[in-house]
Chains A and B, each alone.
Chain A
């Protein structure tokens, strides 16, 4: 049984990937710093304060979250992850995207070859419904289908 959610495409694109879910704010620097420093190909989350994602792989996942939090270097960290080709398959936000995630997503869209669709404003129900490992399909118009 699939469920469909509609959001706003911040960076339009299509993809299909398995979900990695953070119900709390996703700390971009804390999550990606360690895998970036050690060249971790699976990009396992390094944020020990994020019990849901800590040590779970983030590369090629549909990263689902309310918003990002943490250092204002967050945008450049996301850009770097994308430039290295180790980025999530897509970023899906239940709330309005925050300025740091938006910066990173837009820097990546304009200055790297990464194809990482970004959809925001999917609603609280999206984050309540989606679970780790669920199959997610994203369409360019901001439609997100969760299987």
Chain B
């Protein structure tokens, strides 16, 4: 192996901490060498995050391997958060769905959650894809090196927080957390953070975050875009409204393409610091205007058997909603219902957020207002809920482009969704 390791890393690779730990290090070294890494760098963030939050029966070999790691004494060197849980009794389900969820889909759930606690889960509320939100307490600092895998969290940490993390896979990110190091390549290096594309946004009004992210993701795929033209709507400060926008935007770039880092002129930390010197020489330009966004949206396939089917369920909150978004949606739903002469939402609707935010929100007067509308508030992962044959056949609607990409859910803009759930849509 050609990578230069520290004495501690070399000792682990040589088996001084046992055969299993040697394999952990060998796995990381092979991964790094595949991408030309010449060394490992220490993980410096206070907390880790794992993308695997589900005990799917079909994935039993994963949990068998985690047992092996735990038996060998492996523990994450940092406490960590995890992606959202796949089950919540508050979500409307049929008896058949309950059986499918518990007996067929997630029979390993209890076993896996126990493994997470042993490996170093932060706490029982640490299940969210938006672990970087302030209420959760896992917000890396600029320059921190991470070993994360959740694509929406990686792109947010890299772009908005200025942390450094590659688009790792589940399991491998946990091995990095166990070894305490990550191979130095890609987004961990200065060169890997340069922009390969220039994106000029020329829309007449502020573009929907999830749609703009989708268009850019599909165009640049795994490359790094430098985005201009957003200052008229986002300004130059990362306030909570902008951070929520960038959370949704980034998740769409990462799922509709494979973006792990973006820069927004005069807004995101490295763009503010380094400006257009971040752009690689000869970078091509992609112009996004309203017509381009319409073209992208019109190209989304819908795999519903009956395209005119009445929606049975609506999910809002993939990635999980911020507390400001929850308040905003509550206002909009209440106003929409009033305007349309309705008391409750006309399509069963679920808002999803982090358990810690859910608790905070329930302390506010808006919780009672939201409850009266019939909207269900949950910590679930809508993607996990949808990923089974029964739910996959349901006509589910969403304004999440990530959920649309990975499931049979149909995408509508936030405005359209609001009209539909409050009874305004004809």
Q: Are A72 and B149 in contact (CB under 8 A)?
A: yes
Question: Cβ of B34 and Cβ of A106 under 8 Å apart?
Answer: yes
Q: What is the CA–CA distance of A112 and B65 in the complex, to the nearest angstrom? A: 10
A28–chain B nearest beta-carbon distance, Å: 9
Please give me the residue from chain B that is nearest to A118 by CB atom: B34
Asked if residues B170 and A106 are in contact (CB atoms below 8 Å), the reply is no
B23 at the interface (CB under 8 A from A): yes
Residues of A within 8 A of B196 (CB): none
Question: Which positions 63-91 of chain A face chain B at CB distance < 8 Å?
Answer: 69-77, 79-80, 83-84
Contact indicator per residue, chain A 82-122, by CB within 8 Å of chain B (1) or not (0): 01100000000000011110111011011110000000000
Question: Do residues A106 and B31 form an inter-chain contact, with CB atoms below 8 A?
Answer: yes
A102, B61: Cβ atoms closer than 8 Å: no
Q: Is the CB of B34 within 8 A of A97?
A: yes
Which of A14-22, A29-37, A135-143 participates in binding chain B? Answer: A29-37
**Given A33-B387, A80-B59, A98-B222: A72 and B51 within 8 A (CB)?**
yes
A10-B34, A110-B30 as given contacts; A72 in contact with B171, CB under 8 Å = no
Q: Bound complex: CA of A127 vs CA of B35, how far in Å?
A: 22
Please tell me if the beta carbons of B59 and A102 are within 8 angstroms of each other in the complex. Answer: no
B334 sits at the interface (CB 8 A)? no
Name the distance in Å between A102's Cβ and chain B's nearest Cβ. 5
| Interface segment out of the listed B131-139, B161-169, B311-319, B361-369 | B161-169
* Interface contact A75-B26, CB-CB below 8 Å: no
Question: Chain A CB within 10 Å — which of B61, B104, B151, B387 has the most?
Answer: B61
Q: How far is the CB of B128 from chain A (nearest CB, A)?
A: 16
Interface residues of B in 40-65 (CB under 8 A from A): 51-52, 56-62, 64-65
Using A33-B387, A106-B31 as known contacts, say yes or no to A79 and B171 having CB atoms under 8 A apart: yes
Within the complex, the shortest CB–CB distance from B56 to chain A, in Å, comes to 8
Instruction: Give a binary string over B180-205; 1 marks a CB under 8 Å from any A CB, 0 the rest.
Output: 00000010000000000000000000
CB-CB nearest in chain B for A33: B387
Closest to B56 in A: A37
Q: Is B172 part of the binding interface, using a Cβ–Cβ cutoff of 8 Å?
A: yes
Nearest CB on A from B257, distance (A): 8
**Max count, chain B CB within 10 A of own CB: residue among A30, A80, A99, A106:** A99
Main secondary structure of the interface of A (DSSP, over half): helix
B60, B62, B105, B303, most chain A CB atoms within 10 A: B62
Give chain B residues whose Cβ lies under 8 Å from the Cβ of A71. Answer: 151, 255, 406
A110 to B24, CA, bound (A): 9
In the complex, which residues of chain B have a beta carbon less than 8 angstroms from the beta carbon of A49?
301
**B387 touching A75 by the CB < 8 A rule?**
no
Do the beta carbons of B30 and A106 come within 8 Å of each other? yes
- Asked if B10 is an interface residue, CB under 8 A from chain A, the answer is no
Count how many pairs of residues, one from A and one from B, have CB atoms less than 8 Å apart in the complex: 99
Contacts of A73 in B (CB 8 A): 51-52, 149, 169-170
Within 8 Å of chain A (Cβ to Cβ): is B90? no
Question: Does the CB pair A111–B27 fall under 8 Å?
Answer: yes
Using CB atoms, name the residue of chain A closest to B260: A99
Q: A72's contact among B104, B169, B186, by CB below 8 Å, is which?
A: B169
Contact A110 B26 (CB under 8 A): yes
Answer whether residue B258 sits at the interface, using C-beta atoms and an 8 A cutoff.
yes
Contact A75 B34 (CB under 8 A): no
Residues of A within 8 A of B149 (CB): 72-73
Q: Give every chain A residue within 8 A of B270 (Cβ-Cβ).
A: none
Chain A residues, CB < 8 A from B51? 72-73
- Distance in Å from the Cβ of B20 to the closest Cβ of chain A? 10
Tell me which residues across on chain A come within 8 A of B61, comparing CB atoms: 79-80, 83-84, 112
Q: Which residues of B contact A75 (CB under 8 A)?
A: 168-172
Contact of A110 among B23, B105, B387 (CB under 8 A): B23
Partner of B171, one of A33, A76, A84, A98: A76
Q: Which chain A residue shows the least CB distance to B54?
A: A73
A96 to chain B, nearest CB (A): 8
Give Cα A75 to B303, complex, Å: 26
Measured CB to CB, the closest approach of chain B to A3, in angstroms, equals: 26
Residues in B with CB closer than 8 Å to A80 are 58-62
CB distance from A86 to the nearest CB of B (A): 11
| CB contact between B30 and one of A37, A98, A109 (< 8 Å): that residue | A109
Q: Given A10-B34, A73-B51, A98-B258, A103–B59 Cβ distance below 8 Å? A: no
Given the interface contacts A37-B58, A76-B62, does A99 sit within 8 Å of B169 by beta carbon? yes
Pair A72/B168 contact, Cβ less than 8 Å:
yes
Could you pull out 20 A-B pairs where Cβ atoms are within 8 angstroms? A33-B387, A36-B59, A48-B303, A69-B258, A73-B51, A73-B170, A75-B168, A75-B171, A76-B170, A76-B171, A77-B59, A80-B62, A98-B222, A99-B167, A103-B168, A103-B172, A106-B30, A106-B34, A107-B27, A109-B30
Give the 6 A-B CB pairs with smallest separation, nearest first: A75-B169, A103-B169, A83-B61, A36-B58, A103-B172, A76-B170
Residues of B within 8 A of A (CB): 23, 26-27, 30-31, 34-35, 51-52, 56-62, 64-65, 104-105, 149-151, 154, 166-172, 186, 222, 255, 258, 301, 303, 387-388, 406
